[in-house]
Amino acid sequence: MKQREGFSSGLAVFLVTLSSAVGLGNIWLFPYLTGSNGGAAFILIYLLCIAIVGLPVMLCEFFMGRRTKKNVMGAVTTLSDKKAFKSIGYLGMISTAMIAFFYAVVSGWVYSYVFKSIKGIFKDVTTEGVKEIFTSHTTAIFPPAMWVFVVLVVVSVILISGVKKGIEKVTKVLMPILLILLVICTIKSLTLPGAKEGIEFLFKPDFSKVNMAVIVSALGLSFFKLSLGMGTMATYASYYTKDSNLYGNAAKVIISDTLVSLLAGLAIFPAVFSFGLDPSSGPSLLFETIPLIFSKIPGGSVLIVAFFLTAAFASTMAIISMMEVLVAYFTEEKNMDRTKAVIMITSITFIVSAITSMTVSGGVLNQYPLFDLFDKITSSIFLPLGGLLIAIFIGWFINKKDFLDEMSNGGTLNNTLAAGISYAIIKFVTPILLIIVFLSSIGVI
């Protein structure tokens, strides 16, 4: 049998896992959901979701991956002979594919905005101008599909290069650059006149906006943000080193990812308020408000390239982690050659994403809202359902001793208490909470 690849060090384990979590979710979803759902009140609920659901599910996925050293389907079938649990594998792969179908479209828009920024299109642009640029790009047929193609070619090249020589190597270069670029944008935004209002907006809790729908969207965001409920983290954990500290890594990834989200919020809202723009302008925040802001800031024509490059790097690494779930499955379970598997998966993704790009509002196929459908179904149903199945699987069908053994690296780490508490949460708290929220999201309660 061919020797299985793996990451080379603890730092690689941390950075690669973080590179899956950090993505358009931080730069786009987090700021705009926070903005329209009560600022700090939403952040608080989001953090609670992470503590009660996100961290436990992440630990479960880490356990599945590193214990078995297999793709998500291989992991469930190795850990249990109950056929029903294969649903975790199938649901996971369907979810990653569906997310990739719309995510690649947005990533394509981001790539095109990097290009547009370099060309200087946003210099002295007006409010109507940014709207016009965005609408004419997203409703066109050819350019969005072409940019999806570019994104997927980049993704394919990195994936074909392999786990260590492709994913790990690129992550080690891109993640630090991404963080530096984001920090520069944040500092610039925070030093604008009137920035204080934006900070207040982000951190002043407004609990009057909180209702069940807000809780459901915070939960959905925590899954999407941390790439949970679909085997992405299990797949990456299958490449971890034997001595990686699973618990410590989960904590580091979650804290860093949340910090990146907050940094993105601090890069966006102070500037939004400084120029008297609408903070809850939704998805257009990234593609209309941001270019408008940069067009008014000294040095903005350089910063805007930095900003969209950050988003491009982040979205590329996130798509790589989605695709790797499928690549690992086809190479290990179906004995496919890695290059062939990558080309097959990215080609299918390209075709469906290109069609999806025409279904956005104003697009030629907008009577079939595939874009919104993929987004809604995965975030509010598939990911929480996947998380629920994973928690039930680990909590009720896996020996507690095995779980504690894996968390403590065979007893060499002293974390029995923390891991024991996590196990109890996985067994009782996470499933109950997920069932309640899930039933509510489909309107049963």
Residues numbered 62-121 forming contacts with ligand PFF, rule: CB under 6 A: 96, 99
Nearer to ligand PFF, 185 or 233 (CB): 233
- Contact in structure between 75 and 64 (CB atoms under 8 Å): yes
Q: State in angstroms the smallest separation of the CB of 367 from ligand PFF.
A: 27
Q: State in angstroms the smallest separation of the CB of 50 from ligand PFF.
A: 13
Q: What's the CA gap between 220 and 379, in Å, rounded? A: 5
Q: What is the largest CA-CA distance in the chain?
A: 63
Which residue has its beta carbon closest to ligand PFF? 25
Nearer to ligand PFF, 295 or 378 (CB): 378
Residue 16: Cβ within 10 Å count: 26
Q: State in angstroms the smallest separation of the CB of 311 from ligand PFF.
A: 10
Determine phi and psi for 218, rounding to 5 degrees. Answer: -65, -40
Q: Is 237 exposed, middle or buried (0-12, 13-18, 19+ CB in 10 A)?
A: buried
Nearer to ligand PFF, 106 or 195 (CB): 106
Q: What's the CA gap between 99 and 255, in Å, rounded? A: 24
Nearer to ligand PFF, 24 or 202 (CB): 24
- Contact in structure between 56 and 425 (CB atoms under 8 Å): yes
Nearer to ligand PFF, 346 or 408 (CB): 346
Taking CB under 6 A as the criterion, the residue among 13, 16, 24, 305 binding ligand PFF is 24
Is 313 a binding residue for ligand PFF by CB under 6 A? The answer is no
Nearer to ligand PFF, 33 or 407 (CB): 33
Q: Tell me the window of 223-231, 343-351, 397-405, 414-422 that interacts with ligand PFF (CB under 6 A).
A: 223-231
Cβ within 8 Å of residue 100, ≥6 positions away: 319, 322, 323, 349, 353
Is 224 a binding residue for ligand PFF by CB under 6 A? The answer is yes
- Contact in structure between 13 and 300 (CB atoms under 8 Å): no
Is 232 a binding residue for ligand PFF by CB under 6 A? The answer is yes
Taking CB under 6 A as the criterion, the residue among 318, 388, 407, 419 binding ligand PFF is 318
Is 387 a binding residue for ligand PFF by CB under 6 A? The answer is no
Q: Which of 44, 94, 391, 427 is nearest to 222 (CA)?
A: 44
